[in-house]
């Protein structure tokens, strides 16, 4: 076990999970965390307001296949909601770390306490308020696991202000591999692949409609190779926009535009 502050312990857990970037605005109480993160080699990307942090973390998750980490404090955490809503709807792994005044002090004049759990619960897979110093590493590990397993999505960890700078004895585990999503790849059976291939071979006017699963599985290059091999036009949903090059001769653009709509209407086989 090693002696460190609660903020440093949180930073060490993220480092062990392979986190490289943290997007957000840090306040004074969070200094042990941000300084610990920077000393560990992580980059703090400072933004003009918290809304940008949430959206940047979501975009990072979409592109990298790793959980996007964002940071806010007190009422400013409300601005993360837009990015978290997008991550929730698009199944992107995201971890929001926020600070808040202790519940016991919420009655005091000028308190920055806000019921962040009520705010985040409708748009997260899991929301937790950390009130005990000793549990911080376990809470953070579970948060990363919740964000990346099953259907990926956003989670929120709300840390009570006094815990950031409070010292304690912690054991930080060494993770076997970096956090990423999907945490466990599920491959289709050989029979299912053969059936899908047979459908494409027999189709006279096939069209591929690529959705968010292509992005989550980091399968954009596989999609391009399949389309070019069989000369199949490709349309994407809004979530998967960018997984197939818009300038590609086989691109139909995003579902809903006139070009994609006309080809879908005349296609005799649509693969999605």
Q: Assess whether the region 2-170 and the region 190-271 belong to the same CATH fold.
A: yes
What pLDDT score does 176 carry? 60
| pLDDT for 272 beyond 60 | no
Helix 6-16 × helix 31-39 angle, to 10°: 40
Helix 6-16 × helix 136-148 angle, to 10°: 30
CATH of 190-271 given 3.90.226.10, 3.30.2080.10, 3.40.50.1220, 3.30.365.10 = 3.40.50.1220
Q: Residue ranges per domain, the chain?
A: 2-170, 190-271
Q: What is the pLDDT of residues 157-172, one digit of tens each?
A: 999 999 999 999 998 8
Q: What is the pLDDT of residues 181-228, one digit of tens each?
A: 766 667 778 888 888 888 888 888 888 898 888 877 778 899 999 999
| pLDDT for 69 beyond 60 | yes
Pairing of strands 43-46, 21-24: parallel
Higher pLDDT, 71 or 62: 71
| pLDDT for 30 beyond 80 | yes
**What is the mean predicted confidence (pLDDT) over 150-161?**
94
| pLDDT for 7 beyond 70 | yes
Range with the poorest average pLDDT among 46-50, 77-81, 102-106, 219-223: 102-106
| pLDDT for 110 beyond 70 | no
User: Which pLDDT band holds residue 85 (cuts at 50, 70, 90)?
Assistant: very high
CATH of 2-170 given 3.40.50.970, 3.40.50.920, 3.40.50.700, 3.10.20.30 = 3.40.50.970
Range with the poorest average pLDDT among 22-31, 67-76, 205-214, 260-269: 260-269
pTM of the model: 0.78
């Amino acid at each position: 076990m090693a002696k460190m502050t609660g903020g440093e312990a949180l930073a060490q857990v993220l480092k062990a999970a392979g986190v490289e970037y943290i997007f957000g605005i840090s306040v004074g109480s969070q200094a042990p965390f941000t300084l610990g993160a920077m000393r560990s080699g992580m980059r703090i990307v400072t933004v003009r307001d918290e809304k940008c942090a949430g959206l940047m973390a979501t975009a990072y998750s979409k592109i990298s296949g790793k959980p996007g980490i964002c940071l806010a404090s007190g009422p400013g955490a409300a601005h993360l909601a837009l990015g978290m809503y997008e991550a929730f709807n698009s199944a992107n792994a995201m971890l929001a770390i926020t600070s808040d005044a202790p519940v016991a002090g919420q009655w005091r004049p000028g308190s920055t306490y806000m019921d962040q759990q009520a705010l985040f619960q409708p748009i997260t897979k899991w929301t937790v308020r950390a009130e005990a110093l000793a549990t911080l590493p376990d809470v953070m590990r579970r948060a990363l696991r919740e964000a990346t397993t099953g259907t990926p999505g956003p989670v929120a960890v709300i840390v009570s202000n006094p815990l950031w700078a409070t010292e304690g004895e912690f054991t930080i585990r060494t993770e076997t591999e970096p956090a990423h999503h999907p945490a466990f790849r599920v491959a289709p059976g050989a029979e299912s692949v053969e059936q899908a291939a047979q459908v494409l071979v027999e189709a006279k006017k096939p069209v591929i409609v690529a959705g968010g699963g292509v992005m989550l599985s980091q399968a954009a290059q596989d999609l391009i190779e399949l389309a070019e091999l069989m000369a199949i036009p490709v349309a994407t949903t809004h979530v998967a926009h960018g997984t197939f090059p818009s300038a590609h001769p086989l691109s139909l653009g995003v579902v809903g535009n006139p070009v994609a709509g006309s080809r879908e209407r005349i296609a005799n086989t649509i693969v999605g």
